[in-house]
Structure 1
Amino acid sequence: MFKRAKVLPYIDTIVICTDRFIDERLARRNGEIHTDLVAQCQRLLLNIIAFIAFDYDLEASSQPGIYDLRDAFNDFIRFANQFIVAGGIPLWIGKLILRINWKYQRALRTVKHYVMNMIAQEQTRQQQRISTNKPRNLISSLVAAVKEDSSTGEVSLSSNEVFDEVSLSILAGFETTSTALSWFFFYISKYPNIQQKIKSELAEHNLTPDKLLTPDILDSLIYIECVTKEVLRFSPIASVVLRQATCDDTIDGIEVKKGDTILLAIQNLHRDPRYWKVDPLQFVPDRFLHEDKCPPQCAFMPFGEGHRSCAGQDLAFLELKTVITRLMQRVTILDPGEEADNSGGLVQRITCFPKHLAVRIHLDQDKTMA
């Protein structure tokens, strides 16, 4: 569903959502300092994944100041992080805690409201559409799987299973990529020379804001590809991945038994000087043009590695590169200096996002957008 060939047709959708984000969130505050970009990036990517996977317009169903799907998922992530940090809590105690916690219950009700609306909307579409075409997106495939098999009378998925699949897909689809986009805003504000290189590359390809982005055009933007990779290398979305030892071993004098759970610190791999020729402690996108173009296997694994790597990594990378390209076609991002705290740091949850992020954003003046 989320392999590269399948997601390329969604470039136009990503651009439309990004333009709406620029017009409604950034242009109205042109030249101002934005201190809420983590939340804004979450809303943008949440809307993109809702359109791509579910043909659903979340922006149209959300109201300013009203507790919505983004707020609910953030609460879910907060609770998940607390359980991960605590560790060892019996399942029955965890269920009891969640049952009596009003914030968790509010989040659950909100998610059910939005997700069940998506499912109902797709069910209506399928009832009204007589077609032999294959399902167009994730939710159409899942809803179709609920229908009874005419020969056996069985259903492939229950309604609860569809709800779980849709909810998990939304959460995984927006939390990860929005975190990476937040870090892009931070680093691009700190390195104006890199931003200028991006804009020069766009100018070389005559990519004014009125030009459509296509798969071929995106593939030709090599430097933006390098910037996207460097954001994912320098500030990986997840801090660790878990793997299970398949045999007894000894690593650096430490005995590892078969079945032991091993935590791999991704940032340590991404910044290990044994694997990177250009100083890995520096933010240098150009490394992917030359010396570090082909890092050793597992030295660069922002989406994990092997058969358990992230199933949606092609979509996530396409989203990130497309949004970055569109932003750089239309805006300039600046560090506010002493006017606001743009010092970085990080908040570690399931993903690691910037703690102090504040940038000034100017809408580039281009007559072709008038």
Structure 2
Amino acid sequence: SLCFTSIEVPERLTVSHEALIKNGLADRCVSVPVREATDADILLVHSEEYLEAVKKTPYMTLEDLKEFTLQYGDVYFHPNIYHCAKLAAGAALQLVDSVMTGKVRNGMALVRPPGHHSMSSAANGFCVFNNVAIAAQYAKQKYGLKRVLIVDWDVHHGQGVQYCFEDDPSVLYFSWHRYEHQKFWPQLRESDYDSVGKEKGAGFNINVPWNKVGMKNSDYLSVFCHVLLPVAYEFCPDLVLVCAGFDSAIGDPEGEMCASPDIFAHLTHLLMNLAGGKLCAVLEGGYNLTSLPQSVCQTVQTLLGDPAPRPANLDGPCESALESLHCVRSAHRQYWSCLKHAGIKGDEEKSQEEQVWPEPPKRVTPPIRAALVLPNGVACPDGCESFGASEDADPVIVNKLRYVAAACNA
């Protein structure tokens, strides 16, 4: 069982933001202003009855709030939580708007409370409104997107997201989560590998259960490479949303996993190749105040375009991870061409006919602005614009550029 008051604390956000500043990453990001989610936004996922009930919480006595809380699982209502939950969902929507309109290439929303456990008519597992599910519906409605991929790397199963989209083929939901054969919270039968979605949504819900703790970088990368990425490429999403929970990192009291924070640099990098780089990560869990900010920084630095660190100590998936991986591939084989021959050895020879293929599609280069103080005698390169020294450039910027020029010449 989750203990809200001792681990889901405000410091989760403050330490993450401070780490971004300390590592010089905040200065490299565009800060997106936050708005509250409107009733119409929230109603994209939640029922009117539930929204109206939550709306009353700021006016309840503490006794009434305690009673209200008891009808839901593992959540705590504070007089201010309705306001915070509207801001959390609104931040995710602002990020989607910024990415879809091209104001930013990608981004991360640092929010509390989290969202992926919240259901249509119920708060659950620290979550009030389902931030990422709302963002997915909003993106589909406002921008006419046909396919949205949701990747949930939090260590808990985001059952709220699963329930929201389990019959919807326009949203592919992938979640790995600590499960231990249904002994770990939320202890749901439908969190196992054979819950693949319903009706038209069959095959669009991918659950990878971790049946042992102590999973490492190798286990995470194996699942990405052998399950998620092949299916994601075949799905071909217009937008990638990440339920970015970092309780799947080493040192977390909830996850008890051994994956190091730099693994999130690799996971992020792999997802950035989808949807033309349109990726919105939204914070979910993460309760170790050391590995959480480290993981956030690794994610943001990769979103900024820095190369991922060199992976080390990769030794292949453990037996338990391999078993889950094979079970998932087997359950989804009938739905995805890339998994059709999983475990089957083909013996037909390919025909030697002449192959014809179209030209690769034109790749659009994202706009990049860079400036440099050129050494004396060096001409301005083609495609660049030259500004004279007399044009009153900001001396702080000039000094920074001189430092860059000096470093390049060193």
Determine if the TM-score, normalized by the shorter chain, exceeds 0.5.
no
The alignment's TM-score, normalised by the length of structure 2, stands at 0.22
Bigger Cα Rg: 2
Q: Which has the higher helix share?
A: 1
Where relative contact order (Cα < 8 A, 6+ residues apart) is larger, the structure is: 1
The alignment's TM-score, normalised by the length of structure 1, stands at 0.23
